[in-house]
């Protein structure tokens, strides 16, 4: 199922922004109309996109229909407010929005939004009324919660039936999640009332941003408009980008989902916040009430998580591995400065590992591609950078006598293109690293700037589905040159380049009311001519945990740019030889490995959850299904913990207002899970090294 990005992803570095977190009042419906600045911004956006966007797509009637569909999806992603009759009435716009945009006529978007607000008010009133009634949970009926691909409800009667089931599902989910019975309806009353309240707080700029992004998403997922308020948030985030909890969030239907954590941030360092987790509650301090945030706007959730350095925020998380009615956990985070040292490359050595003999493998853990541009511009000759740090670590590992090196890029979301290029140069003598094609078709080749070869020994690169952008450039180049073995999961597939365009620069006055455009203006291509976009980098040896990667990253985004190819750059590739023997040994090993068995079981359970679109509303049956799934999850987890010499997983109290400190066993479990893939990568590289060491002897014997 394709994921529809409805709101631009927010980099939640959670800086202190008290002025922007001030109380927002309800916006009267008669104030919801387009402004002069929005009309100006529309014309500028269209011109910039027409001239500089990489895709070069014509704004015509076909695209007009796409814009309308995406705008309705943005307002009503789960098809729970509009009826088919409403959608049919909106059909008068399907061939007109292209012309309206060119003329900066924005009234259709505001007309649709006013109807949406009315429909939402009607649904909230109906849901509130249902909470006052006794609902029958003995009836064997199903609720379809995944409605992205469902038809629109035919009429109000069908919508009432949908909401009757939705309210029953909300009650059951809270029951199974461990909420106290006398509090469940109060939680839902506040949830529904909050839904209405936050919708009534949406102002003209919010409507405009949602509509323009329906247009930009009709091009591809990474071009988006930021309103003046969102632009201001972005500026402050960048100026103070090293302070906060460090998480990238996005809106996914009614949930706020963690897209990734920022290396060195409190979220990542806690080990308890993971990509795919959903934030369902936010509390302030050690004991403040945890507010239910299901159904909240992304920006409103961000405002609750923000706070001053040193202050505490508590997140109630619904783990990725759980269904909507699964048990939650509370994680306490202290907002803090993200230190460069926590993001910097680190080294260690794997030795005395079963199956490796005396082979010693050096590991360089690289969380991000960083470069201190400020220090460099100020003339600091010792400014920190990825390449400088890795160069030093490689020399240290060589001096320590390692037999091979693994670069661990798992969950490395990218960073500096310059660093990806220079880092590749440490492992190849010279040559091109990546090609960049712009919207005019011109191709620029980024070259290794330093002919010095720092490390020429056996090399492995470990990646996963969250390795993106600069990570993919490095891994792709190493693979194209035949310089090292790529191991793990297919990568994210982020192969496009974005730039920020300040729309205010195009007007003489009122520029601060225009906002910004995040514009896709180029695409990366590997030296072999293939793009990293969409497909990502496919490892030479793929782990079984890659089962769900087909729907992850760019491959899981609606309307993502496809894979493409250009001419190969001129480069001299080496060869690792046939890798089939190492692949076969790897597959034989992991069949009996408790770690890989656990990862496969977890991925299988996640695949089942992803494919599920309905749940039973019969409480006894639902509880049995939930208990069965939870028992299966615990059995899988405890089997793995037992193999690692750890006690069974402790029971979690979903109603606790405080999280217990992470136990030593939990920390050890997290380390063991992360080491599953790394240890196997070390064994794979050790197999390769052993064969390389035997080859000269065999050749010599043949010569004799």
Instruction: Return the CA Rg of the chain.
Output: 27
Reported as type and span, the H/E element at residue 365 is strand 361-365
pLDDT (mean) for 384-398? 97
The per-residue pLDDT for range 541-555, each reduced to its tens digit, is 999 998 888 888 999
Ranges of each domain in the chain:
17-224, 240-337, 344-587
Query: pLDDT tier at 175 (50, 70, 90 boundaries)?
Result: very high
Dist CA 337 CA 343 (whole Å): 12
7 pLDDT exceeds 90? no
Q: Comparing C-alpha atoms, which of 674, 311, 268 is closest to residue 462?
A: 674
Active-site choice (204, 321, 469, 531):
469
| Percentage of residues in the chain having pLDDT higher than 70 | 91
Please name the residues in contact with 107: beta carbons below 8 A apart, sequence gap of 6 or more. Answer: 33, 34, 100
Which is catalytic among the residues 79, 332, 494, 535? 494
pLDDT tens digit sequence for 106-162: 999 999 999 999 999 999 999 999 999 999 999 999 999 989 899 999 999 999 999
Three-state SS sequence of 582-631: HHHHHHHHHCCCHHHHHHHHHHHHHHHHHHCCEEECCHHHHHHHHHHHHH
What value does the mean pLDDT take over residues 378-405? 96
Q: Could you tell me which CATH number the domain at 240-337 has?
A: 2.30.42.10
* pLDDT, average across residues 437-465: 96
**How far are the Cα atoms of 231, 272, 330, 650, 669 from residue 662, in angstroms, in the given order?**
37, 9, 11, 11, 11
DSSP 82: -
pLDDT per position as a tens digit, 575-633:
999 999 999 999 999 999 999 999 999 999 988 888 899 999 999 999 999 899 989 99
Residue 506: its pLDDT value, please?
95
pLDDT of residue 252: 80
pLDDT of residue 275: 87
Q: What SS3 state is found at 45?
A: helix
Give yes or no for a contact between 321 and 278, defined as CB atoms under 8 angstroms apart: no
Q: Does 18 score more than 80 pLDDT?
A: no
Phi and psi at residue 167, in whole multiples of 5°? -65, -40
Report residue 700's pLDDT band, with 50, 70 and 90 as the boundaries: very low
Choices 3.90.226.10, 3.20.20.10, 3.20.20.80, 3.40.50.360: CATH for 344-587? 3.90.226.10
Residue 6: pLDDT over 60: no
Which of the 8 DSSP states describes residue 503? G
**5 pLDDT higher than 70:** no
Rounded to the nearest angstrom, the gap between the alpha carbon of residue 400 and the centroid of all alpha carbons in its chain is: 37
pLDDT at 424 over 60: yes
Q: How confident is the model over 502-529, as pLDDT tens digits?
A: 999 999 998 888 999 999 999 999 999 9
274 is catalytic: no
Fold match, 240-337 / 344-587: no
Q: What pLDDT band is residue 299 in, cutting at 50, 70 and 90?
A: confident
| Per annotation, catalytic residue among 86, 448, 480, 687 | 480
Strand partners of residue 616? 142
Whether residue 2 is predicted with pLDDT greater than 70 in this model: the reply is: no
* φ/ψ of residue 516, rounded to 5: -135, 160
Residues whose CB is less than 8 angstroms from the CB of residue 392 and which lie 6 or more positions away in sequence, other chains included: none
Task: Tell me, yes or no, if 659 is annotated catalytic.
Answer: no
Report the range out of 341-350, 379-388, 519-528 with the highest average pLDDT.
Answer: 519-528
Whether residue 45 is predicted with pLDDT greater than 50 in this model: the reply is yes
- Annotated active-site residue 494? The verdict is yes
d(CA 534, CA 495): 7
**What distances in angstroms separate CA 399 from CA 20, 393, 395, 559, 573, one per listed residue?**
53, 10, 6, 49, 28
Closest to 80 in 3D by CA, of 189, 8, 164, 141? 164
The pLDDT score that the predictor gives to residue 433 is: 98
Residue 595, CA distances (Å) to 271, 352, 360, 486, 637 in order? 18, 18, 21, 20, 10
């Amino acid at each position: 199922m394709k994921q529809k990005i409805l709101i631009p992803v927010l980099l939640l570095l959670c800086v202190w922004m008290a002025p922007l977190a001030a109380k927002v009042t309800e916006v009267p419906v008669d104030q919801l109309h387009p402004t002069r600045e929005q009309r100006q911004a529309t014309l500028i956006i269209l011109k910039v996109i027409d001239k500089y966007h990489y895709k070069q797509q014509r704004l015509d009637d076909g695209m007009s229909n796409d814009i309308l569909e995406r705008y309705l999806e943005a307002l009503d992603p789960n098809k729970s407010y509009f009826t088919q009759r409403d959608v049919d009435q909106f059909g008068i716009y399907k061939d007109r929005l292209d012309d309206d945009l060119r003329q900066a006529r924005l009234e259709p978007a505001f007309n649709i939004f006013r109807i949406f607000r009315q429909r939402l008010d009607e649904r909230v009133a109906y849901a509130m009324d249902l909470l006052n009634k006794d609902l029958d949970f003995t009836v064997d009926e199903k609720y379809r919660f995944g409605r992205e691909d469902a038809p629109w409800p035919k009429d109000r009667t069908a919508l009432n039936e949908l909401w009757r089931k939705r309210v029953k599902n909300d009650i059951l989910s809270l029951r199974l999640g461990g909420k106290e019975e006398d509090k469940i309806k109060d939680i839902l009353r506040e949830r529904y009332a909050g839904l209405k309240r936050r919708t009534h707080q949406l102002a003209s700029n919010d409507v405009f941003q949602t509509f323009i992004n329906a247009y930009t998403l009709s091009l591809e997922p990474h071009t988006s408009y930021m309103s003046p308020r969102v632009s201001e948030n972005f500026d402050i985030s960048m100026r103070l980008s090293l302070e906060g909890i460090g998480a990238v969030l996005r809106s996914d239907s009614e949930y706020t989902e963690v897209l990734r954590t920022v290396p060195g941030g409190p979220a990542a360092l806690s080990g308890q916040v993971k990509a795919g987790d959903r934030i369902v509650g936010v509390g302030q301090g050690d004991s403040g009430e945890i507010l239910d945030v299901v159904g909240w706007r992304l920006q409103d959730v961000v405002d609750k998580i923000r706070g001053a350095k040193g202050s505490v925020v508590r997140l109630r998380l619904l783990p990725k591995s759980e269904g909507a009615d699964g048990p939650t956990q509370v994680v306490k985070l202290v907002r803090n400065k993200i230190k460069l040292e926590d993001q910097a490359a680190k080294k260690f050595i794997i030795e005395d590992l079963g199956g490796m003999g005396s082979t010693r493998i050096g590991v360089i853990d690289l969380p991000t591609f960083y470069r201190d541009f400020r220090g460099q511009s100020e003339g600091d000759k010792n400014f920190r950078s990825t390449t400088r740090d890795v160069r030093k670590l490689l020399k240290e590992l060589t001096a320590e006598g390692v037999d091979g090196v693994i670069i661990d890029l798992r969950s490395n979301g990218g960073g500096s293109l310059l660093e990806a290029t220079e880092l590749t140069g440490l492992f190849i003598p010279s040559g091109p690293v990546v090609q960049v094609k712009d919207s005019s078709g011109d191709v620029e080749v980024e070259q290794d700037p330093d002919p010095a070869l720092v490390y020429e020994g056996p090399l492995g690169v470990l990646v996963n589905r969250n390795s993106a952008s600069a990570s993919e450039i490095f891994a792709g180049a190493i693979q194209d040159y035949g310089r090292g073995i790529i191991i793990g999961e297919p990568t994210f597939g982020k192969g496009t380049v974005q730039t920020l365009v300040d729309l205010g620069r195009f007007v003489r006055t009122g520029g601060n009311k225009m906002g910004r455009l995040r514009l896709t203006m180029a695409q990366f291509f590997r030296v072999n001519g293939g793009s990293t976009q969409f497909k990502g980098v496919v490892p030479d040896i793929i782990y079984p945990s890659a089962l769900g990667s087909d729907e992850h990253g760019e491959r899981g985004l609606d309307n993502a740019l496809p894979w493409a190819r250009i001419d190969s750059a001129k480069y001299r590739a080496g060869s690792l030889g046939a890798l089939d023997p190492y692949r076969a040994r790897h597959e034989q090993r992991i069949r009996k490995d408790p770690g890989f068995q656990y990862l496969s079981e977890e991925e299988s359970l996640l695949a089942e959850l992803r494919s599920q679109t309905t749940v039973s509303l019969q409480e006894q049956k639902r509880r049995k299904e939930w208990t069965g799934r939870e028992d299966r999850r615990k059995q899988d987890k405890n089997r793995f913990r037992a193999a690692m010499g750890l006690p069974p997983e402790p029971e979690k109290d979903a109603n606790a207002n405080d999280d217990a400190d992470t136990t030593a066993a939990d920390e050890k479990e997290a380390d063991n899970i992360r080491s599953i893939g790394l240890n196997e990568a070390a064994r794979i590289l050790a197999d390769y090294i052993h064969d390389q060491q035997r080859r000269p002897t065999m050749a010599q014997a043949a010569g004799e």
